[in-house]
Structure 1
């Protein structure tokens, strides 16, 4: 708005107007005095002086006004240039810049706002802001509230807000606002600058979740520099090693060294991790108090832009499980060896008694000797089966055709029970491969079915309907079936004094199948007896670590 009517005139117009008014004033005044009041006319010399003064004054006014116009023009040019630069900066800004009226109608909307929120400039100019605040009640101030606070506080800084984009996604932003006023102090518009922190907030949340997971992990975890200086340990590390964080951080990882591992172990370890690979091996380390402990240790490099910034190490303390396995191994071998030897002795003496002349004439003595021989044979068989279990569980499985495993198991059953009928229907599973240790389970199922069931065994193999990576092997018989209490013991995974199995056969099947990554189920047999179905993974994946003592 112009301050006066003269603001629209340039220097020449003002000078001419000044000259006209001055000349008219002198001549008009002289005429008025002489005509109306009868005053004698002024001398021509005085009139000339007056007109000359007006002319000089006019030139002076023209010079002043022209100077003012040039200064104003320069200021206006500078303002226009600044506004052009500001528009360019706003348009090219990598962050969304949006301006609205006090009613919330959009007056400015740059390209970054379009890229961030999804609406085009033509869609929003003159309209109310299209996005809405978060509906979760957190960090979701409405546009009206932001405008009110901006005017009241003359701008806001770094306010956390959530706004919905055109595609419906919710974004998280840091918003700073400013007030643009006119010369009278009236609010023209509110300018807001948005910084999109959605990805940053997501990363921070993931980092917090990761930190919580590491802090609460049951395995000892520690981080090191590339030179193996410890920079972080979690609570499980403190519990496992006996070193608290203040004692361990800043120390070399070698504080855990027990001198039980050969130097070649560490040389191989460093070659692997420095090449960017992950190392996983068993290690014997030493706690702060001097006790040795055994752990499965995994060390992986922490890389950034191809450079190794450090390492993360995870230790699973297996000291107790190692001792348990050693104890069980020793007891198992002693049991099998001593039991087999003693049973051979008992069986030998019992056979001598049964063949003695007295036993031949004494029927009760002969029956007792026969019972001893049979019991000794059963116990010897139990020892052999225990050895089969041990060998199956301690050996490394390898992929093998299920048809081959079944053929071997059937051949063994037919040689032991030549009068039995064994039918196989392998079907679509003919070429599938499973863990080779499953062969021991098939041997046991077929032998058990022929020994305690009837004379007919059917073996069916097919793919599962719901998972093509699994294979079903069903062994069905026409015998009396498996007692429910014995099956409950197997499914529960442990025996009690009141509820226990009658033998080791089903345990062998359960352990072998589970170690092979499968499972087994009991169901009625179409033949009238029991059917045990094995669900086995197909392929050559490495079986997972599992031990019967975990049950």
Structure 2
């Protein structure tokens, strides 16, 4: 039980007076003093009091409750004043008395003989209350010191205290953990045992100049642990002083990992700022949080002007609306999105074509809070692609027209002649067909490389069955065996059908058997969908294997299948897949394509 009396609070006195005359006199006395209040409307074990006044009979009746109340109040003092008349003097006259032995010494703090003057009673009460106030103050300070000690001991920061000469007098457990030194090893030493040699003499001169002037020092420091490892800490040193400095207390926060992260972030930020492609981080409302100089240049605004705004501030509405839709898509699906835009920058007057990759952005608690975008400026590339498309269209148009004329003439010669002339004409027709097929494949490659790939979830198993059925109907002489699971969903381009068709047709066209045999196997394992096309033909030349596996340039492709293999390579490459080519047993070739596997939901053929 505790009660701390405030300056304006009356003193709360609990009277345990059995004698009615004494109670009446005490009650009148309390009523005449506004600074005292009688509290006797609760049992003493429940009352909030500063002082208890008892007489002999009250002590006898309530000795157990009094002892309980005083014990509960410890370590603070709850004083008890005993008013003792001459007829009750035997209570303290003998040391054999039960009251004297068991109660008086442990329960009563002051004894007053009755009758007595009011001034003396007031003086006695005041003396007891001063003792109580002192005990309350001492208890409060003790608790603060205990709490401070517990806080220091439990702190995750290294804390140490030195004397005025800088010798260690105390270190907490965190100091031992951070530095590797036990307290017994460092007490009496100076913090110089942590000196790493990384800090200049000027640093320490300024440190001592500051703390000896009675001021607090705050700065980063590089120290050395017991095992020799360097660590970086943010250090605060403060003097403890009255009229003079009595000690210094230092707090070190180990920021080694934080500093390493900060340095990495600075390097990354510097790299991002130097890139010529716009890069930005936006929150889930589309507001800019981070932009690089390239974006500022296109926008015609500074980073501070862009902060908290969106694309509508500096871009035409159509392009801004496209970006807004794609941001929403990335936030809704939690998946990266890729798209191309050609915005008009109204403030800077610039125009550009961008291929943008926008990624969902998660904070440190893995909460989706925005998007991060990298915009590759492909303006020059788009222009070169356009020029190549024009050239490609012209060449293919002229080639197709001329080949059509050549094929027609050769076919006429073949039908109107015989012998070697007819055979030569037949070869001309065949080569003309091959060249026209090459032209069509060239067109497919041009379209593939000239457009941003559209990646979708495709059921490769269903696609394989469909492709096999179509080619089987077109080329009934071939045996096509399909062994696929019910579903096998991968992320790939819509053009993957062309890749499968090309591999199967190529195997049939270059087979040396009357009945070519093709096996299509699909296996979905872990994060991969494996597509295997196995034939029983003469094998694929090494130069064409290089095209499929590495995409390296080739010099001497002598038939249209060369460009077809290039088409397969680029389709798989744009699908973030890979290809292996091995010999089949007992003969033939096995081509294995690995694609990124995804969940079966919402897959298309």
- Which of the five TM-score ranges fits, normalised by the shorter chain? 0.5 to 0.7
Q: Which residue of 2 aligns with 1:364?
A: 420
Mapping 1:531-546, distance limit 5 Å:
531-539=590-598
The one of 516, 526, 540 equivalent to 1:482 is 540
Distance 1:337 1:527, change over 3 A: farther
| Post-superposition offset of 1:318 | 1.5
1:273–1:301 contact (8 Å) kept in structure 2:
no
Mapping 1:20-59, distance limit 5 Å:
none
Q: Which residue of 1 aligns with 2:8?
A: none
Distance 1:126 1:254, change over 3 A: closer
Q: Does 1:521 align with 2:583?
A: no
Q: Does 1:294 align with 2:339?
A: no
Q: Which residue of 1 aligns with 2:571?
A: 512
Distance in structure 1 (CA, Å) of the matches to 2:330 and 2:483: 50
The one of 431, 438, 458 equivalent to 1:375 is 431
Deviations 1:398-445 (A, max 9, x none): 43333333333333443444333434444xx55212335332222111
Q: Which residue of 2 aligns with 1:99?
A: 161
Mapping 1:29-428, distance limit 5 Å:
87=145, 90-91=148-149, 97-100=159-162, 107-108=169-170, 113-114=172-173, 124=183, 128=187, 138=198, 157-158=217-218, 160-162=221-223, 172-176=233-237, 178=239, 190-195=248-253, 197=255, 201=259, 204-221=262-279, 234-237=292-295, 241=298, 261=318, 282-286=341-345, 292-296=351-355, 315-356=375-416, 359-360=417-418, 363-387=419-443, 389=445, 396=454, 398-426=456-484
Distance in structure 1 (CA, Å) of the matches to 2:508 and 2:386: 36
| Post-superposition offset of 1:373 | 1.9
Q: Which residue of 2 aligns with 1:432?
A: 488
Distance 1:461 1:484, change over 3 A: same
1:471–1:536 contact (8 Å) kept in structure 2:
yes
Q: What's the secondary structure of 1:473's corresponding residue?
A: strand
Structure 1: runs of 5+ lacking an equivalent: 1-75, 304-308, 543-551
Structure 2: runs of 5+ lacking an equivalent: 1-133, 364-368
The one of 542, 545, 553 equivalent to 1:495 is 553
Q: What's the secondary structure of 1:172's corresponding residue?
A: strand
Q: Which residue of 2 aligns with 1:453?
A: 511
Distance 1:473 1:261, change over 3 A: closer
| Post-superposition offset of 1:450 | 1.7
Aligned residues: 440
Distance 1:411 1:224, change over 3 A: closer
Distance in structure 1 (CA, Å) of the matches to 2:584 and 2:482: 15
Q: What's the secondary structure of 2:352's corresponding residue?
A: strand
Deviations 1:28-52 (A, max 9, x none): xxxxxxxxxxxxxxxxxxxxxxxxx
Q: Which residue of 2 aligns with 1:472?
A: 530
Q: What's the secondary structure of 1:444's corresponding residue?
A: helix
Distance 1:438 1:349, change over 3 A: same
Q: What's the secondary structure of 1:475's corresponding residue?
A: strand
Distance in structure 2 (CA, Å) of the matches to 1:172 and 1:401: 56
| Post-superposition offset of 1:479 | 2.6
Q: Which residue of 1 aligns with 2:9?
A: none
2:163–2:248 contact (8 Å) kept in structure 1:
yes
Distance 1:224 1:350, change over 3 A: closer
Distance 1:154 1:313, change over 3 A: same
| Post-superposition offset of 1:269 | 9.4
Q: What's the secondary structure of 1:158's corresponding residue?
A: strand
Q: What's the secondary structure of 2:586's corresponding residue?
A: coil
Distance in structure 1 (CA, Å) of the matches to 2:284 and 2:469: 59
2:548–2:568 contact (8 Å) kept in structure 1:
no
Deviations 1:229-254 (A, max 9, x none): 9999745457x74979799999x998
**TM-score w.r.t. length of structure 2:** 0.54
Q: What's the secondary structure of 1:505's corresponding residue?
A: helix
Distance 1:439 1:354, change over 3 A: same
Distance in structure 2 (CA, Å) of the matches to 1:136 and 1:454: 77
Distance in structure 2 (CA, Å) of the matches to 1:200 and 1:178: 28
Distance in structure 2 (CA, Å) of the matches to 1:273 and 1:482: 42
**TM-score w.r.t. length of structure 1:** 0.58
Distance 1:287 1:267, change over 3 A: closer
The one of 436, 441, 444 equivalent to 2:499 is 441
